[in-house]
Every structure is written in C-alpha cells, then in structure tokens.
Structure 1
Amino acid sequence: MGSTVNTCLNTGAWSLPTMAATATCVATCPSPPASTGGTATLNPSTGPYFTSGTVQYTCPGGTSPSTAGSDLLTCNSPNWSPAVGPLCATNCGPPPAISPNGAAAPAGPYIITFSFAYGCATGYSLRSPVTNMCQLSGTNGVWSVLTAPTCVRDNRNLDLVFIMEGNDNVETSTCSQLETTFADTRPIGPAGVLTSTNFPRFFQQQTFLTHFESTWNAVTQVKTRMAVQMHNGACANDAAADANTVRLLRSNIDLANYWMTTNEYRCGTATPVANLACANTYQFTVLNGDTSNQNVIIFALPDVLTASGYNTLRNIQLQGVDGIRSTLPPIFTVSLLQSTDTNYAVNVDYAREFACGTGMTTEAQCPRFLGSIFETNTAVNVLAAAFPAL
C-alpha cells in the first residue's frame, strides 16, 4: 500500500479525520486582499492567518482609508471580513480659509471624513454655522465646502423695541374695516413672501423686521434683543402695552412664523407720545427681558401728510414727543413710504425731527433716520453707524 497523507484544511478539519489523533488542525484564512488606491502595508505581513485573527492595514503617507474601520480585517475562516481591502484615498489638501478675520482651521492631516466648523476672530461672526468635511470623490478627498464663508463684524448688542404703525387710514378708511378684512385676507405666502397689494405697508413692516433680524449680526435674543409692539391708538398703561405686544425682549417667538400663523391687526388713531412712553416703561424692564445693553426705540411713521393723527396734528405730535424726549432712550425712525414717493422728502424732514427734536432736519443734525421701510440694508447700516461695535 502507498503512503497515506492527512491534510489540515483551512476549515480546521483534517482531510482524514480518523487519523487526527496526534495533531490539532486550526482554521485559517488565505492571504488578505490587497488595498486599492495607495498600496497599504499589512500587520502581520505574512501568514498563517488563523480564525478570529486580524490584519491591520496602514495606508501610505498622504492617503487614508476611505471608510472608517475598513483598514482592519478579521479572519472568519475561510473568509475575510470585510471581504475587500481598504481604499487608500488621497487626503484633502488644506481647506478653503476665511480671510480676513477668520479663525485658523485645525491642523491636518485631513483624512476622509475629517470635518470642522468654521469660526471667526473675536468681534466677528458667521451669518450662519458652516461645517466643512473631507469627502471621497473617486480615489481622492475633496472638501464639501469649496468657498469659505465670510466673517462679518459683530454689530453692537442692543435692546431694541420696534413700534409698528397701525393707523386707521394708512391702508383702509377705518380701523374696523382693516381689522375685519385682515382676518380673512392673508397677502403673504410661504416664507413671508408678499404676494398681494393688500395692506402693503403693514406687511412691509413685517418683512422689514424679519429681514432686519437676519441682517443685524447680533439679533439672537441672547445678544441683541428685539421686542415688537403695535401702535394701536392710545396706550395708557402696561396692560395696554401687553395687549399690543407681538414679542417681548425676553421672548424667542419666531417673527416670520408669527406673521404666517397669527391673524391679528391692531389699529387705532395715532398717539405717538403715549405709545413711546408706554413702550419705554413696559418693554424696558428686567421682567420683560431688558438687559445692560443700550436701549433703542425704532418708530415706524406713515405718510404724515395724509395719515390721521398726523396731517394737521403733526406739529402738535412733534411737540409732545419733544416734551418726553429726555425720559426716553434714543429714538430712530423709519418711513413707511418708498423713497420714490412724492411725499418722501417732507416725511424725511419730519422723521428726523421726530427722532432728534424740532428743527433737526438735516442728516448732520439728526443721523437717526433709518430710511424707507422698503430698504432694510440701509436701515441696518445707519443703526450700525450710530452704535459701532465695541
């Protein structure tokens, strides 16, 4: 008879099990699969590769595994898990940098899936958070954000109260007509976009406020806070102010969402003196969210040549404001007219006097006129110039 050979199979069994009395057969895996992309080194570099054993791949310099964990294979005899070697992808280069006033990006290497959040130098902020990630494209890493964001100078932290204009003939002939019609007619669509000519000045005030919040680089209700109060006829006390308040300084109500979901328009004959005094005593309190920030009132004015409560009474209204001016924080005014309106020039003069005092009609005398309600960026720039960042 010829010799009989018993072979230890990679399954861990002998080919002739009845002759296996003198040795132990251990399951193994074949040589591990090679990496793709860059050529990785293996540890251990040679077999045998026993079941449950592992092989660690190390990608060459400048590359990294395309998927976390793909560089470690485990022998589950007779197969490897994962079944393929890693892809050694080229790392990303340095990320796009913010210049100027950006915080330095973290140091590399920038391997696949490396991510970081952009930041700014002290005194500057991003309009919104931006995260960049090194992502796989073929066998190379590419950044998810190819253009660095911009760091914008922080605006001064302020406590702002915006007094919305509600006047009985600004949009309709009577308040009751306006309030009734407004309850049924919503001239805005998704995201607060104006879709109708109904009540354009009232809704433009809403657009102004939501745009102002997104443009002024500190309105977070943590830094700069903004309250909104409707100008609804007389305002005799805190209860009246509370009834006409859309948002307190301490509130986090989303204004865009509020305008979309709340059918409310409060309207009455203009009484600016009472509303200024009312807003000052009610809104600027610790209970309602006042902080150590500079207090500011922004007052919306209609066409004072035609709006009831102003037209023939506008000089009397101005004298009344002059009488309480010393008790109020700085007043800034914004006109409900477009800057192309034929009455705009006269309204600008009055708005400056309203903000700074009778006779103060030039920009040099009174730089506290924010412009037209239709030009938010101009308003932001004027307010920023008045209160430079500290």
Structure 2
Amino acid sequence: MAWWIIFCLAFWATWLIPRICAKFIPGMMVVSRLSLAFSETLHTTKHVAHVCLFITVVVLFEMGAGGLWGDPPTSASYPPLVTLLLQILRLLPLLALPQVVVPSSYRPKSGALFKARALQYCLEEDVNLLADTDWIVHLDEETLVTDSAIRGILNFVIEGRHQFGQGLITYANENIKNWFTTLADSFRVSDDMGKLRFQFKVFHKPLFGWKGSYVVTQAGAERRVTFDHGPDGSVAEDNYFGMVALREGYTFDFIEGEMWEKSPFSIYDFLQQRKRWLQGILLVVHSQHIPVSTKWLLAISLYSWVTMPLALASVILSTIFPVPVPGLLNVMAAFVGGVNFYMYIFGVIKSFRVDRIGWMRMALCMAGALITMPFNFLVENVAVVRGLVGNKHKFYIVNKLTGAPDKVVSTV
C-alpha cells in the first residue's frame, strides 16, 4: 500500500498536475521540464500543484487509514472503562559583526542563564551602542544568509510596521552531514511555511511560539522585552521572549526569503535537541509570569507533543484491541495523519531544489523522508519521555560546526 501511494504521488506530481493546470487554467504557462514548474516565474502553477498534491495525499491517507470508505472495525467486548480509555486515546492525534565576549563574572538581575545570559549582556547599557530605531538580526553559529533573506529583511525594515520578524530556515543545503536528521527536519520547514507564516501574516502574534534564529528585532523593543527572565526563561529563551513580547503588545511579521542551517550531525544530538526544546517550552507554559491568555495556544501545542507516547500507544492498541468509534472521529484522525504525511513531502520540495538535484534524486528524497517518519516518531517519543523526567534546567549545546565538541551546560 505504501509503495502504491508513493507511485500515485509521483504520477500526480510529474504528469497529471501540469496537464490539469494547462487544461483548466487559461493562460497558465505549463512546461514539460519539472525543474521549471517550481521556479520563481511560475508561482501560480507551483501553488496549484501543491494544493492538488495536498488534497491527493489527504484523500489517499483517509482511504488507507479507513477514515473514508473503510470498513468499520470489528466489535469486541471490553469492560466499559477499558472501552472509554481506548476511545479517548484515539482523540490524542487531534491535539504539535562586532564580537562581544561575556565576562564570566556577569550575572543578570533575575539570574538568567546560558544563551539568555549572553543575549542579555549584549543589551546592557554599557555594552549596547544601538539606537532604539536600529535593527538586530539574530542567527545561529552555522546560519548562512542568502540573497533572498537580505531582500526580505530590507523590505521588513523599510516597511517598519512591526517590531519583530522571522523567516524560513531550510536544512538541506551544501554538504549534508546526516541524511536521517536532515530529512526529519523537512517537517520543520513545512511548519515554518504553515504555522509560523500563518500566525505572523494573519494575526501578527507568536501564538504558537517561534524560533531563536533568523529573528529580526528592533533594538528598542528588544531592550524593553529583555532576555533577563530567570532560569525558567533560559532554556527556551526564544519562546519565553516571544510570549513576553506578545504580553506587552508588540507585533510580529513573517519575513520572505530563506536562510540555511544544518540539522544535527547525529541522532543523539537530534534527540537531545528535541528534549531541550520540550523542557524549555514546559518551563515557559508553566511560568507564573506569563498569563494564560497569552500562552494557551502554545500550551495546547506543547501538550499535543507531550501526549505523543499516548498517541503511539493508541495506534498500537487500536490494532490489537479494536473498538467501535464514531465515523467522524476516524475521518478527523486520518486527516491529521494525512496532513503530517504531506508536511514531510512539502518540506522536501521546499528544501531540495529540483533544478539543483534533478527529479530522480528529488523522488528518492521524498521516499527517504517518508521512510524516516516512523523512526523520527520514535525518536520524538523518546525525547518526550526523557524530557519529562529529566532536569529541565540544563542546556545541551548541539554541535553544528565540524570538530566542535558537544556540551551540556548545567544550572550555575
């Protein structure tokens, strides 16, 4: 069944979609070379192709998962409490320039640690020489800036309507150190283009949080929000900063153009990275200094992540102990699965340019991303379990530079 789905997706993407576009959309230029179909000059064709592919993936997933046109599960007799528990588990898938050296003696007023401590030091009056109207671009150590990102930042700054902005980061550029982690991160690319872009373009708020790289801030607004939020604001300092900025009424926007970064070089680093994110966001969501009205959507997103082990248990138990559930619930659960399935495909399309690697390698990358899905799901589950039981005030530094050792920084 999986290979049949891949074949159908390849058929739609490479043959049928361009012909449908040519027939039903007057004046649209459809070319035979697929490398041009996704180029910058054919935005309409590209968007129509993505919509068709998205609908196809969701429908096929609904059919394969039994959400649509599937036979109802065979009824089995269980105690009422067990039946209720199994049905509740089925609901879980519905819930995802100048260099500054920081002195070792520096201590922020609230006791901020790790990266937040360094960022706060750069905002101190005797260190920061920027005017309130100047702009700061935050990058990770391995981030590469592209021409499109420069144009996007300039447009964002010149427009000047929002104090904070963030753009797309992709991970499949230059030399790939680990194919598993890179293909797994294709999901993050789709997350940027979906959730991140939507919340900034429509609401201009970090309702579901944001990231700590490819961040553009107005210096005055960053100084007023600060990174000095104590130990709880020091593990996921980017999300804590975003929640405080949202609480104070600042606005955000999505910046066009992409920057390049690296995925973790090992599966262990990948797991530790996810573990730190989960622990840091837990500290943000449980902070008494951020009102519930500000963080409730971030909390929902977090606990959909925290309940991943239960969702995995639901998938396993539903095959061993089938229970009758409403048809609508099956449709919704299959829809969520289909969207996740599609996000890996879209992330690959956005990360690997066809005109650079060719269609054969693109198809292999799509297949590889889909193959990594269950393994990525397993790693994420392990990260959740370890994150819930471990010390949450640790900061694991992932090696993104060749030859640099990994580090775990504990509370000081």
> What TM-score do the two structures reach when normalised by structure 1?
0.21
Q: Which has the higher strand share?
A: 1
Instruction: For CA contacts below 8 A with separation 6 or more, give which structure has more relative contact order.
Output: 2
> What TM-score do the two structures reach when normalised by structure 2?
0.20
Q: Which has the higher helix share?
A: 2
